[in-house]
């Protein structure tokens, strides 16, 4: 929630600086997300006096102005605004200034051959309104040369994160109350003037949905003039991130943001008959103020008249009955809606609004009459008119809560000593009533306070969380037992190994859009869909880690990253055989873009390919303790992968440990990512545990005493034969002496028969106590050739 210092000071009498207030907000649990000074955006803009205005010699719609900036000789400025004229005063952006709305840096330039030293600015260009029909016109007494930010006045803007349990602070007044309780000033009482009803309300008001809308208050004001709201109100709304619209709309927004009390104003001429909160009928539709049409059902509360639905109650008004410039008579409405029902309706429709945020968390049920009086007061002061009597339908739930409190709990639960008198004073400043027996009355604006522990929190946060001493937890004597499970140890080991291989860790959401989840769904299994998602884009539990990693890669590639190397350790969510939730520990790797950039030595940039994915999969599986020497490379990586550039790694035909390869072009198209992109998914739950191994401790490193020996072999094999099958046979020919083998050449061409290929294998032999003799080397070589022959390989001459 955003608000300016000026707005805060309408409710809080204080001399504290913006920095002091920011520090105190954090100290009392209202987390500050930002503190900005709008005046900084106006640096370089000055009040300027237009001395002369002459037509541009080469453009009909441009003028050449001579402008006095209060310093030195007048400047020449080219301007296209129709209201630019000699004698006026406006705002000049000097060379070097940055235009707030588009971040364009002004500089001295030639426009149609005429030099221009800056720009005369409109309200929209300075982010001060929507007016762009002409440049800003200032009063004649505006001091020439004065910085515009200084002339306009500066008010820092706070951006505070209000947690869901604090609906009382969803208005500036609630924040002011907390700051006053913390000793940063004095809370000003609200000045509420009750407007007497000059005539009976001509509209029938009732509530036909006492559960969804227990209280519905209204009154008519006739003879209003809906013009532009006062500048002070527009400034406050703009600082809060709201766009000023018209006086009547701005007044309701000002009441909502200032006091946390949503309200609504209807054009009386657009209403027909009684105005009634009721349940919607299945299939009814309403066009909301966001110009979207929503289909309703009988679980939703609406505001309707005889003609039909006008409002989605407590969430958004309807387009049909909204006020306009020609509105002369209005119906003011202020109500209390059931918070749970507001939440369900908003989630069902996928509709969020400032009003919903407040009603869903719980507004003050005792603030109906005062809220309507304040709303009436503002309308009469700004728009004029004459108010009717108030009509009240129903009553808000005003169940008062009393909590039995023991002041010693502050020390026992809060860990800080606060005197009883100070505790009473803190609770009183926050609006609680405390009698002699410590029966604490909870104010109606604090629905979050339910028990004594909540009162402890209130006392401690206002007294000072920084005063709570840091006390270590009691420790049992002796060496602490390890608490990490074998699965946790495995994940930690893999996380370090992946980072050591140059991969960057990603943390993505477990919830993804349904369309992305369907693309990676496991064949034959339904998706897990949430009944109450955060948003429609986070409705499905991910069946794979790759959708989130693809989104992360796209964000980085779109921002100019040349190559992306990501890994993530997380959970996939599948359906078990009985339909229950099944979480599977998984390691995902995604490589996109350039593996090596272009260079004078290497020529063109080299992209990642399926072999890079396989190398990552094999290395990480080895770190996980999988028997990589026994793994079989087989197909079936899934429809998301390129069929000719992907495979699975298995122990036997059914136990799939990993899948890897290039992603299918249709997958990249679905996620709007430019390829090629290769990926790996390692299914950690499928890796067999080592028998008798309780941890991953390594044996001490003991380097061999003798140097290893390399021998090269070239075999003719069928062109379709996987090279991994040949390697597996070679490595197993003599396990006592062969420590490694790798393919270093794949040749097809002259000297090799059609349908064949020549695979060159480098074999590493490691002697033990003594160096090899020629006879031993020949015997090992014979074993290698014999093992290869079992795969149909023939040693090349």
Q: Supply the CATH number for residue 755's domain.
A: 3.30.70.380
Q: Same structural domain for residues 604 and 713?
A: no
Counting the structural domains of the chain, the total is 6
Q: Is residue 697 part of a domain?
A: no
Residue 658 and residue 621 in contact, taking contact as beta carbons nearer than 8 Å: yes
- Choose between 278 and 100: higher pLDDT: 278
Q: What is the pLDDT of residue 577?
A: 64
Of 97, 126, 152, the domain-final residue: 152
Give yes or no for residue 327 having a pLDDT over 70: yes
Give yes or no for residue 399 having a pLDDT over 90: no
Q: What is the pLDDT of residue 280?
A: 94
Q: What is the pLDDT of residue 150?
A: 86
Q: Same structural domain for residues 682 and 745?
A: no
* 3-class secondary-structure state, position 565: strand
Give yes or no for residue 696 having a pLDDT over 80: no
Of 365, 394, 423, the domain-final residue: 394
Of the given ranges (275-279, 496-500, 628-632, 710-714), which has the lowest mean pLDDT? 628-632
Q: What is the pLDDT of residue 81?
A: 93
Q: What is the pLDDT of residue 689?
A: 80
What's the DSSP call for residue 128? S
Q: What is the pLDDT of residue 738?
A: 95
Q: What is the pLDDT of residue 149?
A: 87
Question: What percent of the chain has a predicted confidence (pLDDT) above 70?
Answer: 98
312 beta partners:
302, 316
Q: Confidence class of residue 302 from pLDDT cuts 50, 70 and 90?
A: very high
Give yes or no for residue 692 having a pLDDT over 60: no
Q: Same structural domain for residues 519 and 637?
A: yes
pTM higher than 0.75 for the full model? Answer: no
Residue 717 and residue 757 in contact, taking contact as beta carbons nearer than 8 Å: yes
Q: Residue 319: which CATH number? A: 3.50.40.10
Q: What is the pLDDT of residue 470?
A: 87
Q: Same structural domain for residues 732 and 630?
A: no
Q: Is 130 annotated as a binding residue?
A: no
The torsion angle over the Cα atoms of residues 116, 121, 126 and 130, rounded to 10 degrees, is: -140
Q: Is residue 198 part of a domain?
A: no
Q: Same structural domain for residues 113 and 170?
A: no
Of 152, 169, 204, the domain-final residue: 152
Q: Residue 26: which CATH number? A: 3.30.56.10
Q: Confidence class of residue 576 from pLDDT cuts 50, 70 and 90?
A: low
641 beta partners:
663
Q: Residue 545: which CATH number? A: 3.30.930.10
* Residue range 519-568, pLDDT digits in tens: 999 877 888 888 888 888 899 999 999 999 999 999 999 999 999 999 99
What's the DSSP call for residue 453? H
Q: Same structural domain for residues 493 and 634?
A: yes
* Residue range 577-596, pLDDT digits in tens: 666 778 999 999 999 999 99
Give yes or no for residue 682 having a pLDDT over 90: yes
Q: Is residue 477 part of a domain?
A: no
Average pLDDT over residues 367-393: 96
Q: Is 745 annotated as a binding residue?
A: no
What's the DSSP call for residue 624? T
Strands 301-304 and 293-295: unpaired
Q: Is residue 386 part of a domain?
A: yes
- CB atoms < 10 A from the CB of 369, how many? 15
Q: Same structural domain for residues 667 and 561?
A: yes
3-state helix, strand, coil in the chain (%, to 5): 25, 30, 45
Average pLDDT over residues 248-277: 95
Give yes or no for residue 5 having a pLDDT over 90: yes
Helix H or strand E segment including 495: helix 486-500
Burial of 326 (0-12, 13-18, 19+ CB in 10 A): exposed
Q: Same structural domain for residues 417 and 336?
A: no
Average pLDDT over residues 443-462: 95
Q: Share the mean pLDDT of the chain.
A: 92
- Return d(Cα 359, Cα 342) in angstroms, integer: 7
* Residue range 31-61, pLDDT digits in tens: 999 998 888 888 899 999 999 999 999 998 8
Q: Confidence class of residue 691 from pLDDT cuts 50, 70 and 90?
A: low
Q: Same structural domain for residues 48 and 122?
A: yes
Q: Is 448 annotated as a binding residue?
A: yes
Q: Same structural domain for residues 544 and 672?
A: yes
Strands 504-505 and 563-575: parallel
Burial of 568 (0-12, 13-18, 19+ CB in 10 A): buried
Q: Same structural domain for residues 532 and 581?
A: yes
Phi, psi dihedral angles at 22 (to 5 degrees)? -60, -45
Residue 154 and residue 39 in contact, taking contact as beta carbons nearer than 8 Å: yes
Q: What is the pLDDT of residue 54?
A: 95
Q: Confidence class of residue 291 from pLDDT cuts 50, 70 and 90?
A: confident
Q: Is residue 51 part of a domain?
A: yes
Question: What percent of the chain has a predicted confidence (pLDDT) above 90?
Answer: 78
Q: What is the pLDDT of residue 698?
A: 65
Q: Is 580 annotated as a binding residue?
A: no
Q: Is residue 106 part of a domain?
A: yes
Q: Same structural domain for residues 589 and 650?
A: yes
Q: Is residue 277 part of a domain?
A: yes
* Residue range 470-483, pLDDT digits in tens: 888 887 788 777 78
Q: Is residue 610 part of a domain?
A: yes
Which domain covers residue 78, as residue numbers? 40-152
Q: What is the pLDDT of residue 579?
A: 64
């Amino acid at each position: 929630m955003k608000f300016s210092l000026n707005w805060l000071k309408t409710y809080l009498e204080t001399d504290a600086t913006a920095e002091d207030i920011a520090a105190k907000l954090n100290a009392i649990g209202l987390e500050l997300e930002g503190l900005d000074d709008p005046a900084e955006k106006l640096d370089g803009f000055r009040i300027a006096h237009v001395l002369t205005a002459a037509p541009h010699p080469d453009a009909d719609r441009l003028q050449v102005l001579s402008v006095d900036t209060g310093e030195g000789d007048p400047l020449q400025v080219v301007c296209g605004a129709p209201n630019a004229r000699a004698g006026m005063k406006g705002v000049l952006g000097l060379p070097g200034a940055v235009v707030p709305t588009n971040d364009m840096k002004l500089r001295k330039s030639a426009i149609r051959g005429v030099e221009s030293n800056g720009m005369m600015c409109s309200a929209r260009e300075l982010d001060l309104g929507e007016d762009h029909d002409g440049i800003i016109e200032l009063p004649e007494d505006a001091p020439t040369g004065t910085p515009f930010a200084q002339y306009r006045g500066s008010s820092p803007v706070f951006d505070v994160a209000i947690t869901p349990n604090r609906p009382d602070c969803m208005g500036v007044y609630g924040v002011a109350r907390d700051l006053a309780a913390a000793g940063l000033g004095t809370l000003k009482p609200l000045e509420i003037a009750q407007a007497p009803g000059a005539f009976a309300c001509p509209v029938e008001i009732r509530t036909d949905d006492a559960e969804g809308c227990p209280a519905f208050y209204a009154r008519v004001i006739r003879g209003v003039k809906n013009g532009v709201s006062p500048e002070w109100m527009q400034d406050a709304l703009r600082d809060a991130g709201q766009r000023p619209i018209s006086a009547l709309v701005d007044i309701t927004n000002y009441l909502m943001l200032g006091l946390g009390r949503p309200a609504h104003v209807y054009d009386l001429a657009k209403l027909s008959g009684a105005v009634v909160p009721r349940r919607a009928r299945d299939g009814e539709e309403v066009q909301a103020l966001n110009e979207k049409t929503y289909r309703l059902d009988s679980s939703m509360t609406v505001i309707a008249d005889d003609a039909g639905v006008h409002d989605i109650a407590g969430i958004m008004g309807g387009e049909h009955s909204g006020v306009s410039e020609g509105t002369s008579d209005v119906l003011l409405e202020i109500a209390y809606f059931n918070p749970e029902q507001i939440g369900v309706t908003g989630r069902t429709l996928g509709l969020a609004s400032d009003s919903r945020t407040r009603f869903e968390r719980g507004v003050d049920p005792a603030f109906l009459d005062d809220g309507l009086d304040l709303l009436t007061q503002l309308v009469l002061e700004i728009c004029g008119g004459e108010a009717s009597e108030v009509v009240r339908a129903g009553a808000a739930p005003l169940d008062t809560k009393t909590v039995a409190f023991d002041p010693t709990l502050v020390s026992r639960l809060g860990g800080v000593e606060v005197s009883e008198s100070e505790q009473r004073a803190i609770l009183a400043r926050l609006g609680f009533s405390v009698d002699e027996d410590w029966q604490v009355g909870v104010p109606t604006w604090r629905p979050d306070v339910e028990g004594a522990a909540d009162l402890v929190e209130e006392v401690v946060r206002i007294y000072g969380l920084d005063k709570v001493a840091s006390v270590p937890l009691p420790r049992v004597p002796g060496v602490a037992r390890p608490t990490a499970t074998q699965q946790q140890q495995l994940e930690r080991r893999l996380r370090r190994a992946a980072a050591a291989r140059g991969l960057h860790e990603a943390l993505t959401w477990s919830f993804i859009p349904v369309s992305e989840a369907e693309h990676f769904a496991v064949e034959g299994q339904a998706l897990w869909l949430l009944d109450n998602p955060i948003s429609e884009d986070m409705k499905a539990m991910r069946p794979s880690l790759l959708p989130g990693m693809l989104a992360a890669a796209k964000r980085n590639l779109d921002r100019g990253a040349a190559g992306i190397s990501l890994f993530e350790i997380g959970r996939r969510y599948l359906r078990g055989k009985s339909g229950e939730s099944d979480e599977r520990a998984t390691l995902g790797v995604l490589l996109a873009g350039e593996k090596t950039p272009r260079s004078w030595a290497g020529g063109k940039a080299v992209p990642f390919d399926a072999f890079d994915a396989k190398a990552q999969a094999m290395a990480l599986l080895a770190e996980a303790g999988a028997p990589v020497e026994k793994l079989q490379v087989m197909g079936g990586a899934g429809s998301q992968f390129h069929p000719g550039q992907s495979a699975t790694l298995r122990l036997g035909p059914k136990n799939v440990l990993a899948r890897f390869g290039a992603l299918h072009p249709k997958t990249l198209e679905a996620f709007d990512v430019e390829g090629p992109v290769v990926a790996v998914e390692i299914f950690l739950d499928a890796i067999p545990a080592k028998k008798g191994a309780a941890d991953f401790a390594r044996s001490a490193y003991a380097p061999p005493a003798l140097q290893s020996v390399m021998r090269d072999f070239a075999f003719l094999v069928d062109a379709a034969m996987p090279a991994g099958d040949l390697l597996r046979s070679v490595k197993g020919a003599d396990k006592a002496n062969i420590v490694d083998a790798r393919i270093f050449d794949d040749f097809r061409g002259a000297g090799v028969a059609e349908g064949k290929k020549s695979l060159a294998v480098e074999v590493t032999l490691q002697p033990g106590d003594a160096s090899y003799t020629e006879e031993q080397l020949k015997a090992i070589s014979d074993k290698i050739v014999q093992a290869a022959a079992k795969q149909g390989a023939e040693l090349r001459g």
